[in-house]
Structure 1
Amino acid sequence: TATPAAPPTRPPQPGRPTPVPRVTAAPTPQGGQYKNGTFVGPAARTVYGPVQVQAVIENGRIFDIQFLTYPQARRTSVQINQQVVPILRNEALQIQSANVHAITGATLTVDAFIESLNGALAQARP
């Protein structure tokens, strides 16, 4: 029996962050398991500056995530974060947790985002 060929993969594009799977130890809460309100996570430090987010919970679910601060002092940080910030926000909203995928080229921002959002969500747990 012939096995189907694997779908072709695209090589990473230089200078462009690439999402990669990430495994984290934090449990993923099921939707509806948070207290309503606005919760600010801690400012998670990176060598290029802090990342801090706030989570808005409505009807027990993550309704919105806003970046209060993220590294912007270096041109490279600005370029990376212009791409990464919306990706992280959208993925966390979709999966309803901080357990987002790693993004090649933005490891420090991703790790700090996870730390800050986990802190905000810890406050939102009943």
Structure 2
Amino acid sequence: MKKKHPLRRVLMATVSTVSGVILLLALKPTSAPASAAAGMPAASAATSAPAKGAASPPSTSAGSKQTTAAAAQARTITGTTVQTQYGPVQVQITVSGKRLTGTTLVQYPNSSGRSIQLAASSLPVLTKEAVAAQSAKIDAVSGASYTSAGYKKSLQSALDMAGI
């Protein structure tokens, strides 16, 4: 074939187009897979979340019998909302006396698929470490530095309100 032959141009355009389509189809979507989103707790709506710093008694099931002293000791406190680069983080703690017994996420970064994946992997680790350490002096999770910092700040504010 000659260098300026029309068939050569058509062939090159076709090969280029096919290559481009193959590359586009090989790209992975940025949305989170259903398995990562399924592992995260649902964020509570602002209207259903307790007011910042509000303490509320825990709910008891009909089958469990608690003494009034034990019910008075256990309380739930919501920390301040910390804005991070990827979204807000807010932690709610449950304390019994001066002991941290559990944490719940009220808000967490969930604006993109990557944020959901990071939250799904890092926040359960942070929660476990916080209960084990009984403080906000916990290690950050690698790859989720901003979310870890927001979690620790919100946790510390809740612990301060609880007097721990």
Is 2:114 the partner of 1:110? no
- Secondary structure of the 1:45 match is strand
Higher Cα radius of gyration: 2
Q: How far does residue 58 in structure 1 lie from its aligned partner after superposition?
A: 0.9
Match of 1:54 in 2: 92
In the alignment, is the contact (CA less than 8 A) between 1:65 and 1:89 conserved in 2?
Answer: yes
Match of 2:130 in 1: 92
Runs of 5+ consecutive residues of structure 1 not aligned to the other structure: 1-34
Match of 1:80 in 2: 118
In 2, the alpha carbon distance for the partners of 1:43 and 1:114 equals: 11
Q: TM-score, normalised by structure 2?
A: 0.54
In 2, the alpha carbon distance for the partners of 1:54 and 1:102 equals: 18
After TM superposition, the runs of 4+ consecutive aligned structure 1 residues lying more than 6 A away are none
Match of 2:76 in 1: 38
Among all aligned residue pairs of Structure 1 and Structure 2, give the percentage whose two residues are the same amino acid: 34
Measured on the aligned residues, the alpha-carbon RMSD in Å equals 1.3
Match of 2:57 in 1: none
Q: How far does residue 119 in structure 1 lie from its aligned partner after superposition?
A: 0.4
Runs of 5+ consecutive residues of structure 2 not aligned to the other structure: 1-72
Greater RCO, CA 8 A, separation 6+:
1
Q: Counting helix residues as a fraction of each chain, which structure ranks higher?
A: 2
In 2, the alpha carbon distance for the partners of 1:123 and 1:59 equals: 13
Post-superposition CA distance 1:50-106 (Å, at most 9, x none): 000011001320011000010011111111110111100000000101111022110
Q: How many residues are paired up?
A: 92
In 2, the alpha carbon distance for the partners of 1:124 and 1:66 equals: 15
